[in-house]
Structures are given as structure tokens and as C-alpha cells.
Structure 1
Amino acid sequence: MSLYGSWECERVVVMDFALHLSTLLSVLTHCSAQWCYKSQYSCDNTCRDPSRWPGLFPDCGGLRQSPINIVTNHVQANHSLSPLTFYGHHNILNITVENMGHSAHFSLPSSVQVSGGGLAGRYRAIQFHLHWGVDAGPGSEHTVDGEHYPMELHIVHIKEPYSSLEEAEHDKSGIALLAFLFEESNDDHHHYNSLIEALGRVQNNGNQSTVPGFRLCDIIPPSHDLHDYYRYVGSMTTPGCEQAVVWTLFHRTIPVSNRQLVSVAQQAQFWTGQPMTGIFRPVQPLNGRTVYRSATSPVQPGLITVWLYVLQSVLGRALA
């Protein structure tokens, strides 16, 4: 081989190494700039966990962040929080589920809507998703009196006439988010089996699948059990944490079995290829916000005692 040929060979090797190094550095930079959940962070994957989200997305460090811990003794009754009106919850739909890399979103048509309950108009649904932990452990985003629940359902709506989530995010009340907490039951909630199976069909980032014959009313409590709820203003719970959300967290929980709670966390993978587990953001400071409860919420025991005392006093005077 000539000296020229040897030099050409070495140059190709060096260029090939440089190309691979550049690709590797690009991947590492991409990974380190990506947001992730705490369950994804490791020595091999130094992505931005929730404590570092504000560095990438300033709103994540704002004063109206979600989720929060709801202290039931500190909530205030609000008589304007009447029962919500739901539209399209009984419609039979073929919906699409997609692995978004950080969670799985189930799309909903604009015919699914909500209004009333103190909301600023009518809101159209765009998607719902779940937050869960590991092996039926703590997985809810919101907590009540410091207690985590094993899973939480979010149904995301945008205010009319906005046509996209991006538009609605610029309005402080542009997004209405309905949240439901789950509790462990001895029996399966059979309507969730099809959703869990669908998650298994979208194992990898970007995968999509269809869920036929779906009705939203099948996976949440009946509307007459949804008069009792908490209300506060907050944010999306994933980056960019836009502070444009009117939150409604219902008292009534959804029962699912331990088997289902374990199974739901075994179906899909993050964009990093790791098991999709622990997909919830820690609770955020309330920062002076008020949490309200609907007027039809259960009366606290202390208030019952007060009212009984007042009633006895009034009757005593009337009979004297």
C-alpha cells in the first residue's frame, strides 16, 4: 500500500470516529436537556427530573403550580360551584391512544364537553391520561390531607372557542381539567381492562392504537355522584407547566383492583426505553391560593355539631 493510500485509510477512520463522537455527544446533549420523571433519572440518564424543570421551563417555578396537597380543614365552601353539566359522555367512540414518551394520551373528540360548576363557559375535551406509581404504590399527583392514592385520571378540556391546547394556554382559565383519584378494590373495574390492554399495544414512544367501543361514562362515576368536588386554579403538571388550568378534583374515587394497578404500570416504556413507572409530579406549594369545595360537598362533622347546637337553641327559645 502506498503512503497516500495509508493516509487516506487513517483519514477515513478518523472521520468515522469523529462522526460517531458527534452523534454520541448529540444524543447525550439531547438526553440531558430532556425533562423526565424522578423514576427515569440515573447515572446513565441525567435527564431533568421535576426538581430541575424550572431551569428548562420557567413556568414550572411559578406561584400557581399543580399538583397540590388539599388540606380538607382549610378548604372554603363556595355556593357558586353547582353540579357540572357533561356532554357526550355516553357516546360510543373509537378513540386513539398514543405513547407520548412520558405518558400515554387517549384522544377525545370535541363532542365531549363540560360546562357549569362555576366554569367560564363551555369546554371541549381533547384527551385523557393516567398517572401511576410502581406496583400499586403511591401514584396520584394530588394528595388529600397528605395521603397519596395509587392512580389519578385527568380529563383535559379547552375553553371554546380555542382550537388547540397551545391557544388555551395563554388564557388563565383556558383549560379545565377534571381529576379523579383511584382506590384499591377487591374486584376488577372491567371497563379499565381494555385501556390497560391498549397501553400494552403502545409500548414504545410514538406507537398508536385504537380503542373501539369506548364510552367515557364507563370509566368514571355516574354524574349524580360528581356533585362533590374541590376547585382551585393551577397549572399543567408536566412541562411547560402552563398556569392556565381550572382544576376540579372529585371526592368520589374510582375502584380498581390490585391486579389492575400492578398491570397498568407494566405495559409501556418511556422515550428512554425504561419501564413507564412513577409518572407523577410531587405536590407544589399552595402559595396563598384558596381551595374551594362545592356547596353540595359533605358537611364536616364539626359543622354538623355547630348547626345542631344552633337548632337546639332556636327550638328551646321557641318552646319556652
Structure 2
Amino acid sequence: MAQSVWGYDSDNGPDHWHENYPMAKGDKQSPIEINSKDVRHDNSLGPWHASYDPGAAKTILNNGRTCRVVFDDMFDRSVLRGGPLTGAYRLRQLHLHWGSSDDHGSEHVIDGVKYAAELHMVHWNPKHGNFAGALKQPDGVAVVGIFLKVGKTPKPEMKRILEEIDNIKTKGKEAPFQHFDPSILFPKSRDYWTYHGSFTTPPCEECITWILLREPIEVSSDQMAKLRTLSKTGENEPVKPLVDNWRPLQPVKGRIVRASFK
């Protein structure tokens, strides 16, 4: 089957993904709403640790669906371990989902609260050989999800990424992105929720241990506006703003969300 051009428009958006990617109708799909009353505190969930090599950052790109920073994952340069994970997972890329205005844009929803954006740091388990192999295993991928909340003070953390936006305005544009330590994007608190789910983009493989951080990081409204200047169309096409690249909530179907905190 030819790779269909999925997206977030009415003709190719999340309602249609299952037509080409049947897994999108699976039992362990993401994102979900996290309801505090249903969350189970789990004493056995320890802290997670990330040791990232700033030299592993390679490029930043606009693929027409998100803004992505790509890292060298040929060996264990930048790894995530601990928390709900067994072994070390390698950082491969980070990307964002955001809305057309500041009052929505995150994929996960916490007790009815939507944030302006959600940052995903995608790691894979090298025991499965390569990234493609990891996608086929339930413990193949770990994603740290960080919420972006609009506040008064623009946070310096997002500055590096946003400074590059002008260089990747249109779909297909890529720019060098070197010497970046993504751990600056972590909030102060290490508290998290965790559950087993899927990628929120096709093919929606159900291989992800989610680590969703409780504390959001703050960005300014101007910083969010900058992200919305990206275009989902190519250089010589009419500009269409890249916004609302989030997937709606999926059914929980009996999955338990555990929390590292009370």
C-alpha cells in the first residue's frame, strides 16, 4: 500500500487514519485523558533520569506536520532510564503538538485541562536492534511528554528551538541544530504519570511507555505565536499555517494510569 498522505485536515485527519492504518482503532491508543480520581499511585515507581549529550543534536526540520529536532542515536549518547523503564532508552527526536490558539493544543488532557502545546521526547530501546524493530515491541519506545502552558514570563528553555523557526518556515526545510541539551526542557518537578499507549501519529504503533510530566513548562503567548508561523505547505505553495496538529482523545479501554506521586 502506498504511504497515504495523512494529516490533520478534514479529508485526511485523525477520523480517517484508521482507513489506511488499522492500528489507529486499537485498544491501547494515545492520547488519553488523565483523571486524577482514576490514577493509581504506585510506590514502586522510582525517579527517571536522563543523561543527554548536547553534541548528539543534529538538525531541526519542518516536515509539514510538526517541528522536529533530530539526535544521533547510533549509540548510547543520550539516554533515558529509571521510572517505569527497564534498561536505557536512546533519544531519537523531539517534536511538538500545538493549537491554533493558546487555550488548546496538547494531546493529553489532565482533568479536563488542555495546555497550549505538548512536547514529546521520543526514545527507543536498543535491545530491539534498531528503531524499526523497537516499533514492533510493547516495550520498544518511551516518550517523555511535557506540557507547555502560556504564562507571563517567556521561558528561555524554548528559545533555541524558536530561534530556528525562520529557517524552517516551509514544509521540507531542515537546518543544522547543534550543541543542544534537551534536558533544559524538563520542569523542576520529576513527578509523572505513566501508562502503556501508542504513537499519536500514523501508523499509531502500540509500543509506547508514556512518561507524562505533571508540571508544565511556561512559554509566552509570543513564543506560541512564533510556532504558528510555520507553514504546512512547501516553499512555492500558498502558505497554510501549521496549527492544530494534535490528535483527539482516545478511549482508555481499561488501562491503568499510574502516578509516581500522591
TM-score of the two chains, using structure 2 as the length reference: 0.91
Name which of structure 1's ranges 272-281 and 70-79 shifts more when overlaid on structure 2. Answer: 272-281
Listed as ranges, the gaps of 5+ residues in structure 1 are: 1-29, 300-320
Deviation at 1:275, TM superposition (A): 1.1
What are the equivalent positions in structure 2 for 1:132-147 lying under 5 Å apart?
Answer: 132-147=98-113
Structure 1 residue 96 and structure 2 residue 67: aligned? no
Structure 1 residue 35 and structure 2 residue 6: aligned? yes
Distance 2:49 2:28 in 1: 26
Residue matched to 1:293: 259
What are the equivalent positions in structure 2 for 1:179-258 lying under 5 Å apart?
Answer: 179-222=145-188, 225-226=189-190, 228-258=191-221
**What letter is aligned with 2:88?**
R
SS in 1 for 2:168: coil
What are the equivalent positions in structure 2 for 1:60-139 lying under 5 Å apart?
Answer: 60-88=24-52, 91-92=54-55, 94-110=57-73, 111-139=77-105
SS in 1 for 2:209: strand
Distance 1:94 1:86 in 2: 15
- Retained in 2: the 8 A contact 1:184–1:256? yes
**What letter is aligned with 1:104?**
C
Deviation at 1:64, TM superposition (A): 0.3
- Computing the radius of gyration from Cα coordinates, the structure with the larger value is 1
Deviation at 1:164, TM superposition (A): 3.4
Deviation at 1:284, TM superposition (A): 0.3
- Retained in 2: the 8 A contact 1:230–1:291? yes
Distance 2:19 2:258 in 1: 31
Identity in percent: 29
Structure 1 residue 50 and structure 2 residue 14: aligned? yes
SS in 2 for 1:179: strand
Residues 129-158 of structure 1, C-alpha deviations (whole Å, 9 max, x = no match): 011001323000000012110010100000
Deviation at 1:270, TM superposition (A): 4.2
**What letter is aligned with 1:75?**
V
Distance 1:163 1:95 in 2: 21
SS in 2 for 1:128: strand
Equivalent position to 1:159, from 121, 125, 128: 125
SS in 1 for 2:224: helix
What are the equivalent positions in structure 2 for 1:266-281 lying under 5 Å apart?
Answer: 266-270=229-233, 273-281=239-247
SS in 1 for 2:128: coil
Distance 2:203 2:166 in 1: 27
- Retained in 1: the 8 A contact 2:7–2:14? yes
Q: Tell me which of the two structures has the higher relative contact order, counting C-alpha pairs closer than 8 angstroms and 6 or more residues apart.
A: 2
**What letter is aligned with 2:211?**
T
Say what the alpha-carbon RMSD is for the aligned residues. 1.9
- Normalized per residue, the structure richer in helix is 1
**What letter is aligned with 1:257?**
S
**What letter is aligned with 1:279?**
N
**What letter is aligned with 1:102?**
R
Residue matched to 1:6: none
Distance 1:94 1:283 in 2: 31
Cα 1:268–1:199 change in 2 (3 A) is farther
Distance 2:162 2:95 in 1: 12
Deviation at 1:160, TM superposition (A): 1.7
Residues 249-278 of structure 1, C-alpha deviations (whole Å, 9 max, x = no match): 011110111111122111332468521000
SS in 2 for 1:167: helix
Distance 2:129 2:228 in 1: 32
Distance 2:22 2:199 in 1: 13
TM-score of the two chains, using structure 1 as the length reference: 0.75
Listed as ranges, the gaps of 5+ residues in structure 2 are: none
- Retained in 1: the 8 A contact 2:102–2:115? no
Residue matched to 2:140: 174
SS in 1 for 2:232: coil
Count of residue pairs the alignment pairs up? 255
